[in-house]
Amino acid sequence: MKNKKIELRLRSDTCVASGLGAFGGVDTDIAVDEFGLPVIPAKRLKGLLREAGLDIASLLPEWADTFYRLYGKPGASDSGGLILSSGELVDADALKKEIKNRDYTPAQVTEIFTSLRTGTAMTGEGLIRKTDDNTLRVTRVAESGLTFSFDALFPDDCAEFLAKCCQAVRGIGSGRTRGFGEVECKLDLAGADGPAGAAGGEFKLNELNGSKFVHYTLTLASPVIVSLLNGGSGGTEDYIPGSLLLGAFAAAWRKTPGRACPAPHKDPEFRRLFLDGGVKFLAAYPQKKDGGPILYPAARSIRRSKDDASRAIDASVAAAPDEYAKTLGGFAAADGEDQLMHLGGVKKSVFAHHARPADKAAGHATKDASQAAGSFYRYEALAAGQVFMGTIVGSESDLEIIRELAPATIRLGGSRTAQYGGADFSWFQYPRLQNRMITIEDGDLFRVTLRSPLILTDAFGGVRPDPALIPGALGLRGAVVRKMFCSAAWVGGYNSKWLLPRTQETALAGGGVIVFRQESGGKEIIPAEAFIGLRTGEGFGHIAVEKLPAGGDLRIQRAGQAAAEIRGGGGLNKLEKKIKLLNIPAHIQRQVNRAEKTRITNNSQLGRLQTYLSTTHSFAELAGMLSAGNWKQQDDREKIQIFCVGEKTGDAAELARKLRQKAEKVVLSSPDLLANEEEGERKLFHWYKRYLLLRIRRDRKETAV
């Protein structure tokens, strides 16, 4: 597989619409990232590349097989070989570093790289046409000249065909027939291959009740779509289920030389690792900031105060008064020593997509309900930049196999070949999971906390979400339920190999808490952490067991969530100058408002100054005009000089120096605004002319009154 770059340069203003609502008078807004930088979603380019490839393959049938290998075949269980990331500006890493260091807002950044265009619909036929009422639309466009870079991973023998597809792309975005979206696209085959190889971090095995475990982190390089386990559409889970990791590693096993086989489910090693639960891929939950613990689903037994958000009571230990009525949501990590609960959550993003109709001339989805008319749909996804942490449990020999399979970059979730699903995989050294046993005697109270959904079965093998079945799964004989704080959840899934949905089962949702009392059975020993029920290989059935603590009072603290570091260096300073230029008009207007209104000039004098300003291009030219002897009266010349610089002088060179000093005082907020002396002089004079013209407009109006 090759990992190369596709570069796309805008040869005209381009609107790659976000598809979402916009505010502030913009009807059609473009796609931007969380920093405000323009981006081109990978699905837009991949769709155009596929259209181009389809045209090439229809004219040159010898490329048909390559087309299907690159873009996939409809109805096949395996996707195409082309994996494409969203396009970012070529210097995006340095720009992000500067944005973060200087604390620029996304709106400021977007304004730098974009502009607004207006348009209206026309009505009528032939040569006699007129503007259609109520059709004025404002569109934001990325400015011509910007260059975007896409990471492209594809089979080695498809490089030539992909290069041809890139060359055939000539337009992108909205308004391609109205002058927008002209682009130049090329595949950089000469560049070095991108980073690849094994996962980073320290792979260190830890002990857990006779098994081994190791932690991993997933840093989301792009949004990740995690389909709802209950089969619902339009949403995404708040965490990354272990089934996604299991599927990714199973696919890596199948592609490993020497292991590939047509029926992997018959291979003993494959069955042990991925089908029989020999290796347990626990779900990845948000990681606490600064290398902290995993934030598991918040316990449903905790009740938060309605009056003080920092106070809470664990209702599994003590009765909660009426004012403690709010149940925690999201994820939490407990600090038992300080009775402190760190509370966190996840960020999600919504993305809009437009499947173009079969008739390319239409260019947009039509009202026709058929598939050929195109469609408009949205995805909700876990936002990029977040860090999730999980655990893999198994024997030492099995985990060594998993270590060999682990890649530096992993693809997860839906639509993972374009725009979604990219994550940086790394081993993480953190000694979580309790490697100890708990002694339970008659009369003891203990509780079980569900770290993940739990699918229980009764004595007849039927699935039943009954907490009373938990003691039997743990090997306890005399424990009975005293309290429970649980809710049911549907757990299903989808088998992408067989293109079939999995059977939905009723489970106890993660975060549930059940309090038990050992009524009989005598002294028994159970592990502090265990895996019970069905589908433990996918991370279900992970429970924590502990004796009931003495007190139920808790303090709540918002936990900072780990986030991806911005790669690349800063020092670009490109945005600083552009933002200052954007702020100059408002700054000049404030200077005009502060300037004293003159009473010594008349409209005739100000009108002559306005004429001079329209024909001069430097401080020296303007000084020559203002010091020339062709004024009707010397008094007129002196009054205009006072209007411009605050004093009069007869020497043109001296007046030019004073004009520039006045301009620096009025316009410049910092000396580094000017890129070089020649460009700075021209820009400075331009803004000072604007200052004088605004004053003329204001003072002429005042004089007229």
Task: Check whether 617 has a pLDDT greater than 60.
Answer: yes
For the stretch 655-674, pLDDT in tens is: 999 998 888 888 775 444 45
Q: Assess contact for 214 and 427: CB atoms under 8 A.
A: yes
Domain boundaries, given as residue ranges, for the chain:
2-194, 197-295+345-360+374-433, 437-557, 574-704
Q: Which residue has the higher pLDDT, 216 or 497?
A: 216
Cβ atoms within 10 Å of 530's Cβ, excluding its own = 20
Residue the block writes with tokens 């995690």: 226
- N-to-C CA span, the chain: 77
Q: Assess contact for 605 and 692: CB atoms under 8 A.
A: no
Asked which of 61-65, 76-80, 177-181 is least confident by mean pLDDT, the reply is 76-80
User: Exposed (0-12), middle (13-18) or buried (19+): which is 358, by Cβ within 10 Å?
Assistant: exposed
Q: Would you say the C-alpha torsion 44, 48, 50, 51 has a positive or negative sign?
A: positive
In this prediction the pTM is 0.83
Cβ atoms within 10 Å of 382's Cβ, excluding its own = 28
Structure confidence at residue 404 as a pLDDT band (50, 70, 90):
very high
Q: Assess contact for 327 and 303: CB atoms under 8 A.
A: yes
pLDDT (mean) for 558-563:
82
Structure confidence at residue 701 as a pLDDT band (50, 70, 90):
low
For the stretch 205-245, pLDDT in tens is: 999 988 999 999 999 999 999 999 888 877 899 999 999 99
Highest mean pLDDT of the ranges 310-314, 535-539, 648-652: 535-539
Q: What DSSP string runs through 161-178?
A: HHHHHHHH--B-SB-TTT
Asked which of 179-183, 258-262, 286-290, 310-314 is least confident by mean pLDDT, the reply is 258-262
Structure confidence at residue 506 as a pLDDT band (50, 70, 90):
very high
- One fold for both 197-295+345-360+374-433 and 437-557? no
For the stretch 3-35, pLDDT in tens is: 889 999 999 999 998 887 676 778 889 999 999
pLDDT score at 194: 62
Q: CA-to-CA distance for 668 and 577, rounded, in angstroms?
A: 12
Amino acid found at 80: G
Total count of residues recorded for the chain: 705
Residue the block writes with tokens 């999980």: 390
Structure confidence at residue 571 as a pLDDT band (50, 70, 90):
low
Burial 1-19 (b: 16+ CB within 10 A, else e): ebbbbbbbebebbbbbbbb
Task: Check whether 182 has a pLDDT greater than 70.
Answer: yes
| Mean pLDDT across the chain | 86
Q: CA-to-CA distance for 467 and 516, rounded, in angstroms?
A: 10
What is 437-557's CATH topology? Immunoglobulin-like (2.60.40)
Task: Check whether 337 has a pLDDT greater than 70.
Answer: no
Cβ atoms within 10 Å of 273's Cβ, excluding its own = 24
Q: Which two tokens mark 360?
A: 């390319």
C-alpha distance from residue 261 to each of 270, 402, 403 (Å): 10, 18, 21
- What lies within 8 Å, CB to CB, of 383 at 6+ separation is 34, 220, 223, 346, 347, 348, 349
pLDDT (mean) for 493-522:
87
Task: Check whether 59 has a pLDDT greater than 50.
Answer: yes
H/E stretch holding 242 reads helix 242-254
Structure confidence at residue 675 as a pLDDT band (50, 70, 90):
very low
pLDDT (mean) for 148-159:
92
What is 197-295+345-360+374-433's CATH topology? Alpha-Beta Plaits (3.30.70)
pLDDT (mean) for 531-549:
93
- What lies within 8 Å, CB to CB, of 255 at 6+ separation is none
